[in-house]
Structure 1
Amino acid sequence: MDLSTPHPAPAPAADGKPDPRSFKTFAEFYPFYLTEHSNRTCRRLHFVGSTLSLVCLAMLVATGKPQYLLYGLLCGYGFAWVGHFGFEKNKPASFKRPLYSFIGDWAMYKDLWTGKVPF
């Protein structure tokens, strides 16, 4: 997916920010997603939560115990929501655009690993 192609920004909502539901493609959504993760601590909490979620997924596969799916969800969303409410001071986009936000979490995770987004 080419994120470098410019897309017109959706009309802003009353608070001046675009409504996450207004994006038609993930390529349009991802730059907005990154602006919602401008706080370094928030990004780091997302990274920790995503890493722990992967550990839980590995434990699910290794043990076959379904509770690791719940643990993974709690780790991923728990760390992310602490980052948003406690540090970023915004509401997670997952409340309005859950699929794009989930994809955005993993795109940012990759971009943090590769240095495209500062850790």
Structure 2
Amino acid sequence: MADRIATYEEFWPYYLREHASPTTRAVHAFGTGVGLLLLVAGLVVGPWWLVLVALVAGYGFAWGSHMLVERNRPATFTYPAWSLFSDLRMAWLMATGRLGPELRKAGLS
């Protein structure tokens, strides 16, 4: 990608295309879920270092899927905030069964 993406509306379809494999999406959703659980546990009951483990878990699963499945560079390195929001958005849409239409709009089946 030579040009920087200027808006989130442009980023979202790009993000989905970078997660074309259902395996990548599943690993991302799992990592996001584990990361959120650890984050909440660390903030609510402690110990505080669970917050750091949450980051490692969430990003570890996501980056691993990019390296091993998609074989592409995670968008987190270029668009960290949009990527985090999109990870949460994708996981939510997957959990609620509403990701399909978004994938089709992005040109994926």
TM-score under structure 1 length normalisation: 0.77
Which residue is 2:88 aligned to?
Answer: 106
> RMSD in angstroms over aligned alpha carbons?
1.4
Structure 2 residue 55 is matched with structure 1 residue 73: yes
CA drift of 1:66 comes to 1.3
CA deviation vs aligned residue, 1:16-46 (integer Å, no higher than 9, x gap): xxx4xx2222121101000000011111110
CA drift of 1:64 comes to 3.0
Structure 2 residue 39 is matched with structure 1 residue 57: yes
Which residue is 1:90 aligned to?
Answer: 72
Which residue is 2:10 aligned to?
Answer: 28
CA distance in 2, matches of 1:62, 1:97: 29
Which stretch of structure 1 is more off in the superposition, 83-92 or 55-64? Answer: 55-64
In structure 1, runs of 5+ residues without a counterpart are 1-11, 14-18
| Matched pairs, number | 100
Secondary structure in 1 matching 2:99: coil
Structure 1 runs of 4+ with >3 Å offset: none
The one-letter code matched in structure 1 to 2:94 is L
CA distance in 1, matches of 2:17, 2:82: 14
Ranked by relative contact order (alpha carbons within 8 Å, sequence separation 6 or more), the top structure is 2
CA deviation vs aligned residue, 1:83-110 (integer Å, no higher than 9, x gap): 1000011010011111111111111111
Secondary structure in 2 matching 1:58: helix
In structure 2, runs of 5+ residues without a counterpart are 101-109
TM-score under structure 2 length normalisation: 0.84
- Which structure has more helix as a fraction of its residues? 2
